[in-house]
Amino acid sequence: MEIKIQKRVLAANETMAEKNRKFFAEKKVFVLNMMSSPGSGKTETLCKTLSRIMPGIRTGVIVGDICTCNDADRLKATGAVAVQINTDQFGGDCHLAAHMIEKTAKELDLDNLDLLIVENIGNLVCPAEFDIGEDARTVVLSVTEGEDKPLKYPLMFRLADSAILNKVDLLPYLDFNAKEAVDNMTQVHPGMPVFELSAKTEEGFEPWINWLESKVRSKI
Amino acid sequence: MHEMGVAQQIANIAIDAIPSEIENPKIEVLNLRIGKLAAVVEHSLRFCMEIIAKDTPLEGARVVIDEVDVRARCKSCGHEWVVEGPAFRCPACTDGTVELLSGRELEISSLEIAD
């Protein structure tokens, strides 16, 4: 006997993500999901971003790691509200799922926030698949990785609304071809804005900050 | 990497779909549709399904995976094509505003239960 089902396997996550999206819309909080491989400099980029946009844009951060609160501690030092999710309590998950965001967002005073940034687990595969109820996604790639990462992980770059090419201050010391990396990103996602910057020296930050601020202001 | 969680969701949905009047049900075939862009590794998923299925009506079920092509439509000229590589620019007009028609599926289509 055949039983037709026709159900999406991740329907439970998608339903929760939609619930989150409605909740964040009511609170007029713009939610940015930041993703990358481990070590691309997400946290440092965020620290420098926070120091530029606050207090004008009131920002909170949810940061995901399998273990440790190191990243939340670094982000709190900027004066932002930062909450750590350790996924070892959820089985060491390789991504943040919508239910984790729903639970953690309650710890934040969303009525007094304009922007919530979710720093996802360092991983270019799994986080791409899991909607968390965000308004936009930004993927960070650094020049110490391969130029062909966008081609190897197309879903991540295809679904991103913007990309950052980080650590450009290291370009003189590497064989990395920045143009090729950017071409690969825009091959997977034509038209996607790519910001070439260095979180260490803060060169190239202006266009990225302008993009982020215009996105946030469009919602509040 | 999250195939175990996906396998668990698949098992929950499949087992919930079994009509309650069937005594000692045994699922013989589980039909899945997985898009080529879905972040799921087929080999890992099959391995995880075997573990999850143990001591459930899914134990021993044959998992049939219908792999779905990545299809796209150009928003500019309307051309539709199967995306073979990781490039999403329209081959007809080279425009880049592209709509994904398929390739992200991760669905259970049906079960076949022993009569």
**For chain B, what are the domain ranges?**
3-19+26-113
* Residue among A39, A61, A58, A50 nearest A143 (CA): A39
For the domain made up of A11-217, the CATH class stated in words is: alpha beta
Instruction: Judge residue A1's burial from the number of C-beta atoms within 10 Å of its C-beta, 0-12 exposed, 13-18 middle, 19 or more buried.
Output: exposed
Which stretches of chain B score pLDDT less than 70? 1
Residues B50 and B11 sit within 8 Å (Cβ to Cβ): no
Q: Say whether A91 and B89 touch across the interface (CB within 8 A).
A: no
From chain A, the residues in CB contact with B95 under 8 A are 190
pLDDT on residue A90: 67
Q: Is B27 helix (H, G, I), strand (E, B) or coil?
A: strand
**Residue-level pLDDT at A67:** 87
Q: Which residues pair with A129 in a beta bridge?
A: none
pLDDT along chain A (220 residues), means of 10: 93 96 97 97 96 95 90 90 85 86 95 96 92 98 97 95 98 98 96 97 98 93
pLDDT for res A8: 95
> Distance from A130 to chain B by nearest Cα, in Å?
10
| pLDDT the model gives residue A169 | 98
Question: With left for phi above 0 and alpha for psi between -120 and 50, is residue A131 left, alpha or beta?
Answer: beta
Q: What is the pLDDT of residue A91?
A: 67
For chains A and B, CB pairs below 8 A equal 97
The Cα–Cα gap between A117 and A43 comes to 11
Q: How many Å separate Cα B79 from the centre of its chain?
A: 26
Q: Quick one: which H or E segment has residue A184?
A: helix A178-188
| Long-range CB contacts (within 8 A, 24+) of A189-192 | A189/A157, A189/A158, A189/A160, A189/A163, A189/B88, A190/B88, A190/B89, A190/B95, A190/B96, A190/B97, A190/B98, A191/B96, A191/B97, A192/A157, A192/A160, A192/A161, A192/A162, A192/A163
Mutate to test the interface with A, among B41, B88, B93, B112 (most CBs of A within 10 A): B88
A151: nearest CA partner in chain B: B86
> What is the pLDDT, as a whole number, of residue A109?
95
> In terms of C-beta density within 10 A (0-12 exposed, 13-18 middle, 19 or more buried), how is residue B60 classed?
exposed
Residue type, A57: I
In the CATH hierarchy, which fold is given to the domain comprising B3-19+26-113? hypothetical protein PF0899 fold (3.30.2320)
